[in-house]
A and B are shown apart, each in its own frame.
Chain A
Amino acid sequence: MKKNKMIERAIHGVFLILGLLTVGCVLLITVYLVISGIPAITEIGFFDFLFGTQWASTAEEPEYGILPFILTSVYGTAGAILIGVPVGFFAAVYLSKLANPKVKAFMEGAVSLLAGIPSVVYGLVGMLVLVPAVREIFDIPDGASLFSAIIVLAIMILPSIIKVSMTALEAVPKEYEDASLALGATPVETYFRVSVPAAKSGIAAAVVLGVGRAIGEAMAVMMVSGNAPNMPSLFQSVRFLTTAVASEMSYSSGLQQQALFSIALVLFLFIMLINATLNFFLKKEKD
């Protein structure tokens, strides 16, 4: 009997460790990023690092200002949201409320596919279709620019926006819609004036999720944004926080590499903020 109890206890312990694994991983990531990210910031100087507008890591007198990356990430994400959210939102209303079942089933499959396509494939198609097209249409020397990145990001966040908004819209009680129709509102008026406001936390969560996706995307953006550390401008080659880390990591060392870790830390802080916002909206949606 005693032996049995010991075994049970041991097994309980094993499962406890497994259960705490996710917490451990989050701690591991946080600790590593903080420990490896702080030194460069203190050496370069907090303000010079965050608000410096020059990034010249391989120059003789290197400069490590990451404001261009921060602004590019913010503008790029904002642009992607500006384009992706309306498209995703209207598609979600249509699919959850008006589409006939066949169209809905087809589109759900299409949206899942969009979500599953690897980001390098987006990057590849963007490189060969979008970038030349942008160059032609806007008559600029190189199409690899913030604008191209915004378009690719807008497409990549579409599936999250559509799926999460659809779930929220489908959860709106039919009673609300009946009440509106009984007052003489048409179906379309009902969906936009009653169903959408009733699903607003869920739709907000969809937008925040989109923000997270857009700000964290690296590979696709790297392939279409040109990758020069300029201050952001729509039709210029730019570098994002993510691509700043990715593009120099393989050959960097010393302070340059430490600065890359610091960039990752900044990105991580952005993401944690977004996660907290997301959680806030998801909780509200549940109530």
Chain B
Amino acid sequence: MLNRRRKAYIGIMKAAMYISTGLTAALVIFLVAYVFIKGIPNITWELLSTKPSYISGRIGILPDVVNTLYIVLATLVFVIPLGVGAAIYLTEYAKNKKLVGVIEYAAETLSGIPSIIYGLVGMLFFCQFLGFKTSLLAGSLTLVIMNLPTVMRTTQESLKTVPQSYRDGAFGLGAGKWRVIRTVVLPGCVDGVITGCILSIGRILGESAALLFTAGFAHALNGVLEGLTSPGASLTVALYVYAKEEGEFGVAFAIAAILMILTLLINFSATLVSRYFAKKREL
């Protein structure tokens, strides 16, 4: 039989594992439950469909919802072609291993930089140097840099699964490089682009520090056309402002609950999509 010392060691390790896993599980369940219990009762149609008004003392988050939507769309519109292009360069064109190493190291560095630094540089470069002022556009462009490595990486992964024989086949038929890329390589990017979109949307929705000084915290409802060039708070920034500056915790929790639901949806679709792609690859 095991001696006492071994039994004690195993017992301690097992206890540590159960406690740690249990703690993690409890934490997640608590966070979700707490945010939902505090937040969902505060989500009303009025809150979602109006803008705040000092005259009637009403708070509405419609502008923040619209701003978030703008930021998500504008960021994706820029980041996808750029990220896909970078990935295509790496997998299809780049022959110099050192250069590939440098590019990948740069991408890793970008994903390690804290968002507050993005916010600062975004403010200096997009708002001041390029003259976009504090605006949704400046915020989105800042987020483009942040999400570039993500889209690049997911696209690279999906391009790895395009069999070399397809490319060889197309070249064998006398197709030029550009034609091969359009007909063989680009369709192979779809999986990566979809995964990249989901991951980026998740990150954009959750981002706040990078938007604070680039997109600002205005709650005005803008027209469709001047929307991008006006300042505006995203949902996360609005949450921060309502909680920290105005003490409107009901509204803050309503936004938190909305963000939590969106996070759940995004995680769920990410799982579904990766499962679907894994199955497709097996076929």
Write the residues of chain A forming the contact surface with B, with a CB cutoff of 8 angstroms: 4, 7-8, 11-12, 14-16, 18-23, 25-26, 28-29, 32-33, 36, 86-91, 93-95, 98-99, 103, 106-107, 109-114, 116-121, 123-125, 127-129, 155, 158, 162, 186, 188-189, 192, 212, 215-219, 222-223, 242, 245-246, 249-250, 260-261, 264, 267-268, 271-272, 274-275, 278-279
Report whether B103 and A19 are in contact in the complex, using a CB–CB cutoff of 8 Å: yes
Interface size on B (CB < 8 Å)? 85
Write the residues of chain B forming the contact surface with A, with a CB cutoff of 8 angstroms: 2, 6, 9-10, 13-14, 16-21, 23-25, 27-29, 31-32, 34-35, 82, 85-86, 88-90, 92-94, 102-103, 105-110, 112-121, 123-125, 145, 148-149, 152, 176-178, 202, 205-209, 212-213, 236-237, 239-240, 243-244, 249, 252-253, 256, 259-260, 263-264, 266-267, 270-271
Report whether B149 and A91 are in contact in the complex, using a CB–CB cutoff of 8 Å: no
Q: A95-B21, A212-B112 are in contact. Are A245 and B176 (CB under 8 A)?
A: no
Return the contact of A275 from the options B89, B112, B125, B244 (Cβ within 8 A): B112
* A152→B144 CA distance, assembly (Å): 28
Q: Give chain B nearest CB distance to A174 CB in angstroms.
A: 20
Report whether A90 and B20 are in contact in the complex, using a CB–CB cutoff of 8 Å: yes
23 pairs, CB–CB < 8 Å, chain A vs chain B: A12-B93, A15-B85, A15-B88, A18-B89, A25-B110, A32-B121, A88-B20, A89-B20, A91-B20, A95-B21, A110-B24, A117-B206, A117-B259, A123-B244, A125-B256, A128-B249, A186-B6, A189-B9, A216-B116, A217-B114, A242-B209, A260-B120, A268-B117
Report whether A162 and B121 are in contact in the complex, using a CB–CB cutoff of 8 Å: no
* A125→B29 CA distance, assembly (Å): 13
Report whether A21 and B82 are in contact in the complex, using a CB–CB cutoff of 8 Å: yes
Residues from chain B with Cβ under 8 Å of A12 in the complex: 93, 177
* A72→B275 CA distance, assembly (Å): 43
Return the contact of B24 from the options A19, A32, A87, A127 (Cβ within 8 A): A87
Report whether A118 and B207 are in contact in the complex, using a CB–CB cutoff of 8 Å: yes
* A158→B24 CA distance, assembly (Å): 8
Q: A110-B24, A250-B213 are in contact. Are A118 and B206 (CB under 8 A)?
A: yes
* A7→B176 CA distance, assembly (Å): 10
Question: Which label, helix, strand, loop or mixed, suits the secondary structure of the A interface?
Answer: helix
Question: Which label, helix, strand, loop or mixed, suits the secondary structure of the B interface?
Answer: helix
Residues from chain A with Cβ under 8 Å of B253 in the complex: 124
Report whether A218 and B209 are in contact in the complex, using a CB–CB cutoff of 8 Å: yes
What residue of chain B has the Cβ atom nearest to residue A97's Cβ? B17
Report whether A127 and B85 are in contact in the complex, using a CB–CB cutoff of 8 Å: no
Report whether A22 and B266 are in contact in the complex, using a CB–CB cutoff of 8 Å: no
Report whether B35 and A25 are in contact in the complex, using a CB–CB cutoff of 8 Å: no
Q: Give chain B nearest CB distance to A287 CB in angstroms.
A: 16
Residues from chain B with Cβ under 8 Å of A275 in the complex: 108-109, 112
Report whether B114 and A188 are in contact in the complex, using a CB–CB cutoff of 8 Å: no
A-B contacts besides A21-B85, A28-B125, 19 pairs, CB < 8 Å: A4-B176, A18-B85, A19-B103, A32-B121, A32-B125, A90-B20, A109-B271, A117-B31, A117-B263, A118-B239, A123-B243, A124-B243, A124-B253, A188-B9, A215-B114, A218-B116, A260-B120, A267-B117, A279-B108
Report whether B115 and A23 are in contact in the complex, using a CB–CB cutoff of 8 Å: no
Report whether A22 and B19 are in contact in the complex, using a CB–CB cutoff of 8 Å: no
Report whether A125 and B35 are in contact in the complex, using a CB–CB cutoff of 8 Å: yes
The 8 closest A-B pairs by CB, nearest first: A216-B114, A19-B89, A18-B85, A118-B206, A90-B20, A94-B17, A22-B106, A110-B28
* A246→B23 CA distance, assembly (Å): 32
